[in-house]
Every structure is written in structure tokens, then in C-alpha cells.
Amino acid sequence: MTDAPPDAATPLAQAVFLDRDGTLNEDRGHLANPDDVVFFPQAAPALARLGGRYRLFIVTNQRGVAEGILTPEQVEAVNRHVVAVLARAGVAISRVYTCPHLRSDGCACIKPNPHFLHRAAQEFGLDLARSWVVGDHPHDVELARRAGALGLYVLTGHGAKHRAELSPGTVVVPGIAEAVDWILAHS
């Protein structure tokens, strides 16, 4: 796949937008060092099952940058590590989108604002209505709703803690493997 958007005759691609911490890897607070990333064992094999049918993206809020806990370089190093580990397992992440702001900053890019999904749709020729957002926070499924995509809520990470905050009808699955099962069964 190339990074150029398709021409008008090419059908728009489907995508899966993945939260990082708590969805692909354990949420261990503000990750400053790639060595601290602990993937959920099922993450890479599950994503590999998508078999190139979907463009994969990571969308992550990293407020630790605004709080002075993390540097942008540390966040980028962790993101590069996550992408490299997944690539070694045959999983291609097209792009990682990171919001380094506090919610109180009022930025356009913090989840659940759909800024990054709209940007990815434009840059990669995506059909958001046939795309998915997977995450462990109510903001992830709200992000899907605001972008016109389909949302899946995982119970890993902070998922169990925030489950009561979900809107009725939200699809809830135990983890990333079951999210991939759902996507494959409903696409």
C-alpha cells in the first residue's frame, strides 16, 4: 500500500483506528521508555488476522507531554517501538496520531474529537463509515460516533473501570482478539 490517496475510481479503504495503552499494550501510566511497553499477548496475532484488509492506525492521547512528565521525543520513541514490534509480527501500522495536550487545552486533536480520523481519511482515502475504532475508554467509542465510524469497547486497560459510562448499545468485547473477531464477522 502506498501513502497516496486513491483516485476517484478507486473505492475508499476501510480502516481500524486503535487506542494504544490499555488496548494493544498494558496501561502502565505514562510510558517514557520503549522497554516499559508490555503488549497484550493476543494483540499482534489478532491484528495480523486482519490480513491487510484494513489500514491500521494508532490514535493516542498522551497528556503526559503537556503535564511535563513526558517529552515528545519519549512518546515518539515508544510509538516507534510499538510500530516496529507489530511490523515484526506482520502488522503494518499506517500512521500513529498523538495528541500531546490536556483536555482543558481545548485542542482539536484530543479524543473524542475526530480530527485525526478526518485527517487519516483525507490522507489515505478512507471510508470512515466502514471503519472501526477500538479502545478501552468511553472517549474511544465516542470518537467513532463523532467520525461516523463503528466503535468497539474493550475491557482491558481501563475498560472495566469505565464500562458504566458507556451509552446503551455500545459493543463491548473482552479484548483486542475479540474486537478483531467482531470486525471480521461484521464487515
Among all residues, which ones are annotated catalytic? 19, 21
Angle between helix 138-147 and helix 115-124 axes, rounded to 10 deg = 50
| Cα separation, 181 vs 178, whole angstroms | 5
**Beta bridge partners of residue 126, listed in sequence order:** 13
165, 172 Cβ separation under 8 angstroms: no
| Cα separation, 135 vs 147, whole angstroms | 15
Residue 126 burial (C-beta neighbours within 10 Å; 0-12, 13-18, 19+): buried
What b/e string do you get for 151-173 counting C-beta neighbours within 10 Å, with b at 16 or more?
bbbbbbbbbeebeeebeeebbeb
